[in-house]
Amino acid sequence: MADVLQQVVSGIASGGVYALLALALVLIYRSTGVVNFAQGEMAMFSTFVCWELLDRGLPYWVAFFLTLAISFVGGVLIERLVIHTVSRSQALTVVTVTIGLLILLNGAAAWIWKGEQRTLENPFPSDTFDVGGVVIAAQDIGIIGVSLAIVVVLWAFLQRTRVGLALRAAALNPESSRLHGVRVSWMLALGWGLAAVLGAVAGILVAPTQGSFDQNLMLPVLIFAFAAAVLGGLDSPIGAVVGGVVLGVVLNLVGAYIDFFADLRLPAALLLILGILLLRPNGLFGRSVVRRV
Amino acid sequence: MRAFRYSLRGLGFALLVAIVVYLPFRLSDFRASEFALIGIYFIAILGLNVLTGYAGVISLGHGAFMALGAYTTAILVADHGMRDLWTIPLAGLLAAAAGAAFGLPALRLSGPYLALATFGVAVATPIVIKKFDGLTGGSGGINLFEAEGITGLPEFLVTLPGGKVLSFNDWLYYLTWTIALVLFAVAWAIHHSRFGRSLRAIRDNEIAAAASGVWLASHKTLAFSISAFYAGVAGSLLAISAFSVQPGAFPVDRSIALLVGLAVGGLGSLAPLAAGAAFLVFLPQWAQDISKAPGVPAVIYGAVLIALMIVLPMGVGGLLRWITRPLTSRLYPRS
């Protein structure tokens, strides 16, 4: 039993990272209606920025928050310069642009940082705690704590501030919001900026757990984040968080206890999600859209 | 007017055939192999266009159907001694069956969910291929160099009229483009059929289409199945031209590349999709020629793709329609 609990705890920790990236995907999907394929690469790029700042001798938390600020500006710029120019086009064009961004950012990171393996400083101690036979790593607690804090701050921002209200209004009904004086297109840019910040946190948390990282850090994480977002419902922030955590736990348990799936964790997870989607086509928490013709 | 319109189309198709037949006379052996690859991508993109361009369903998983086609051909040729050419339709049919089997339940999902579900299939493909190594040869794949079933260059084709000596790559070129032109004609027929119109009605407004008597499930599933058939044929040709299959040849990138080719060629166009296929083959090479420093080719590729989408949101096909509109709008009065 302790064994199972241990798998669950480490599953929650990796699920927390998926949840952050899934939340970023949901933010962008809700505001711009785009599935952002470049989300993982934006996060990877932010992680490299953080590494660069640390490499230049900045204290950890200064580098951390500076990275978040740079990521925010980067996200806003990407929306303003690239996404905004194609936002009136068909879905495929916008999707292709985000794929172009994915390739561009991946290449740019390999170019700037020479494609070498880097090691990101770990902000958490390497201690472990023994709670009734379950060994919990301080790192896992740290990741869960930071993820939780970010989610709470984001929730408070969206639900309790005027700007958050405007952001939600712009996503829900752009035309009415515009009539009420909301600068809709800047709200979309703000959404992209916030998504970039979430991605940055996910990247900075996940990089030390991998030992070393290069420009391909976030591709596997992105796939799990997609799965988490779809599982929870693409338009539901709560769904993204729940989906991420559930996915992390299920992946860990399946990988550990079903031998056949030991090297098939990813397909197994995708199969599970496909099954859930067939029962609930809009994810666990997604709204089903009623349309008038 | 209608007869005139069709004869104009016929003339265009004849011109296309003439270009395809004549091209190897002007191309080096290496270029011929590249153009064969373009033909393969063209087939796959034509198929994806039936699904995405007409039915409006974005699939990120068509690399999986290509893999299915490629492995069907490789297994039939290597393990069962079948002639490679006969496996091409079989590969297509098997992929079509798989497409129907996947499409029937999955098409319940709406746009982005379906796109991500198919993306999951694309991600899982190489892993699943490696897992069933008894059938697929695991990560080493299947080698066809020694297989008896490989036709190679037919004797009667070695010298063409005009003294052109046909190389193996020229043969591959003619093989892929013959199939591509046939499938192009089929795609054209679909476009102008009642079925094609129903699909476009689904794309434009699903509920209105259903209200007008279009059976959504059967139409979408059939569209998925047809597009999987095209992908299967393309995959089979890929196996024949590469003499081998490996799981590494079907990463997620391959599925994404097909979608990129479709966007560049122009969603809903037909002949301009060849430009999208050419983009997929030539742009990475061109980027490599500029600089081989790590990352730089990818930066160029990504930047060109983004710029192209900003300048030509409807792809090359959209550009051609825009250029020829002053002419065609007089030829084809809008009803």
pLDDT, one tens digit per residue, over B109-143 is 877 888 888 888 888 888 888 888 888 888 788 88
Residue linked to tokens 């699909």: B199
Residue A288 lies in a domain: no
Query: Can you tell me the ipTM of this complex?
Result: 0.88
Give the domain CATH number at A196.
Answer: 1.10.3470
- For residue B284, the chain A residue with the least C-alpha distance is A103
Within an 8 Å CB–CB cutoff, is residue A92 touching chain B?
yes
Q: Residues of B with CB below 8 A from A271's CB? A: 124
Q: Residues of A with CB below 8 A from B62's CB? A: none
Residue B297 lies in a domain: no
- Smallest CA–CA distance, residue B116 to chain A, in Å, is 7
Residue A266 lies in a domain: yes
Facing A100 at nearest CB: one of B295, B297, B305: B305
Within an 8 Å CB–CB cutoff, is residue B12 touching chain A?
no
Residue B154 lies in a domain: yes
Residue A284 lies in a domain: no
CA nearest to A182, candidates A194, A173, A195, A191: A173
> In Å, how far are A157, A204, A225, B215 from B207, measured between CA atoms?
37, 45, 31, 11
CB A70, CB A46: distance < 8 Å? yes
Cα torsion at B284, B286, B289, B295 (round to 10°)? -40
- Long-range CB contact pairs, B137-141, < 8 A, 24+: B138/B247, B139/B246, B139/B247, B139/B248, B140/B246, B141/B74, B141/B244, B141/B245, B141/B246, B141/B247, B141/B248, B141/B249
Domain ranges, residue A24: 2-279
> In Å, how far are A10, A220, A252, B324 from A15, measured between CA atoms?
8, 13, 10, 53
CB within 8 Å: A100 and B208 = no
Instruction: Give pTM, 2 decimals.
Output: 0.89
CB within 8 Å: B205 and A29 = no
Which of the residue ranges A90-94, A176-180, A229-233, A279-283 would you say has the lowest mean pLDDT?
Answer: A279-283
Who wins on pLDDT, A23 or A130? A23
- How confident is residue A292, by pLDDT bands cut at 50, 70 and 90? low
Helix, coil or strand: residue B159: strand
Residue A37 lies in a domain: yes
Residue B146 lies in a domain: yes
Residue linked to tokens 């959404």: A191
Total structural domains in chain B?
A: 1
Residues 16-35 of A with CB under 8 A from B: 29, 35
Residue length of chain A: 293
Please count the other Cβ atoms lying within 10 Å of the Cβ belonging to residue B22.
10
Domain ranges, residue B83: 16-251
Q: What is the pLDDT of residues B66-104, one digit of tens each?
A: 999 999 999 998 888 888 888 999 999 999 999 999 888
B116 contact partners, CB below 8 Å, separation of at least 6: A35, A226, A227, A229, A230, B60
- In this structure, which amino acid lies at residue A233? G
Q: What is the pLDDT of residues B6-26, one digit of tens each?
A: 787 788 888 888 888 888 888
A220 contact partners, CB below 8 Å, separation of at least 6: none
The average pLDDT across B43-56 equals 92
Q: Which of B49, B129, B305, B316 to mutate to test the interface with A (most CBs of A within 10 A)?
A: B305
Total structural domains in chain A?
A: 1
CB within 8 Å: A93 and B110 = no
Residue A132 lies in a domain: yes
CB B265, CB B43: distance < 8 Å? no
Given a cut of 60, is residue B333 above it in pLDDT? no
- How confident is residue B335, by pLDDT bands cut at 50, 70 and 90? very low
- pLDDT > 70 in chain B, percent: 93
Residues 208-227 of A with CB under 8 A from B: 215, 223, 226-227
What's the token pair of residue B179?
């199939």
Residue A127 lies in a domain: yes
| Chain Cα centroid distance, residue B90 | 17
